[in-house]
Chain A
Amino acid sequence: MKDISLHLMDIVQNSISAGADKIILRIWVEPKQDTYQENSAKISYNLCCEIIDNGRGMEPEFAKKAADPFKTTRKTRNIGMGLPLLKLSAEMAGGELILESELNKGTRIKAFFDVDSIDRIPLGDVASTVKMLVMANPDITWNIWFSSSGEEFELDTDEIKKELEDIPLNNNAVLDWIEKTVNDGIRKVFGGVLDEVR
């Protein structure tokens, strides 16, 4: 995948297929644990993305293999490519993919990337990903959260629904507002932090 917004679009399809009615998307930048020392010359950072859903989850044995179809002695033919590709993107950029899942509770997928790795894919158009996801799934509660040192942004579609009352979330003007608001949030939180955000 070319950028993180495409991975998010893809990974969230899994949450939707798993019957989730609440999906949390979090993107943040944090200092790497091992370099977080006051006296270190240069602090390096990770770009982290997390998708948390309340869908049907996976069996523990399946969850272990889900992101890793190449390594496993898989018996099912149709293990997909979404998670392995995200894992590849993360590992190419000095990061990892972490998958936690509990049957009938939900799933948490976290991927992180070294911010400064030359192989790190850019954020891409996250705002349009959010817009399209809400447009196609207005009945899901979407919670979008960004943070970097000192700046934070949150958008929750339940709160938007409260203000809109009888107007549906997938009204065009509302969707455009969501896209613009998310874009403003990205600029506020990641401007000057990620090279690709101006």
Chain B
Amino acid sequence: MKSVEELKALREKALKELSIRDNENKTRIVVGMATCGIAAGAKPVMNAFVEEVAKRNIQDVTVTMTGCVGICRLEPIADVIDSNGEKTTYVKLTPEKARRIVAEHIVNKKPVIEYTIGAAEK
């Protein structure tokens, strides 16, 4: 089976790149994937987060999802949970906004205030 060979090669490569990482100190991006979120475009938003994090080779961030129901009219929604536990909720996201959040919030540690739930609810 060809795929077994490919997986063996993947493993070798991954082992070389594996540095000791502190999983506890990871920033988490949690994208809302309940029905309303998906219908509003949460999947391409999550894709944009994943791609931007990979493109910038950022190691201490995980992108994940939750099926918990959010707030329909504000979807797609994502929480950025910093390593100190601080949570920022971003609403009405698009792939472009997701990429900007990675650049400014994740890389430069400056939350994008205008996309937050606080700004949307004003």
Contacts and interface: CB of A to CB of B under 8 A. Distances in A.
A160 B62 CA distance: 21
Interface string B17-41: 0100000000000000111101100
A167 B43 contact: no
B11 interface: yes
B80 to A, nearest CB: 15
Given A16-B67, A135-B63, A136-B64, A10 B10 contact: no
Size category, B interface: 20 to 34
Given A136-B64, A173-B14, A163 B43 contact: no
Chain B interface helix/strand/loop/mixed: helix
A13 B3 contact: no
B8 interface: yes
Contact of A164 (B7, B34, B46, B69): B7
Interface of A: 1, 5-6, 9-10, 13-14, 16-17, 78, 80-82, 85, 128-129, 132, 135-136, 160, 163-167, 170-174, 177, 181
Nearest to A13: B67
A128 B47 contact: yes
Contacts of A81: 35-36
A62 B64 CA distance: 30
A1 B34 CA distance: 12
Nearest to A160: B7
23 contacts: A1-B39, A5-B43, A6-B38, A6-B43, A9-B33, A10-B33, A10-B38, A13-B34, A80-B34, A80-B69, A81-B35, A85-B35, A128-B43, A128-B47, A132-B47, A135-B64, A136-B63, A164-B10, A165-B11, A166-B15, A171-B14, A174-B10, A177-B7
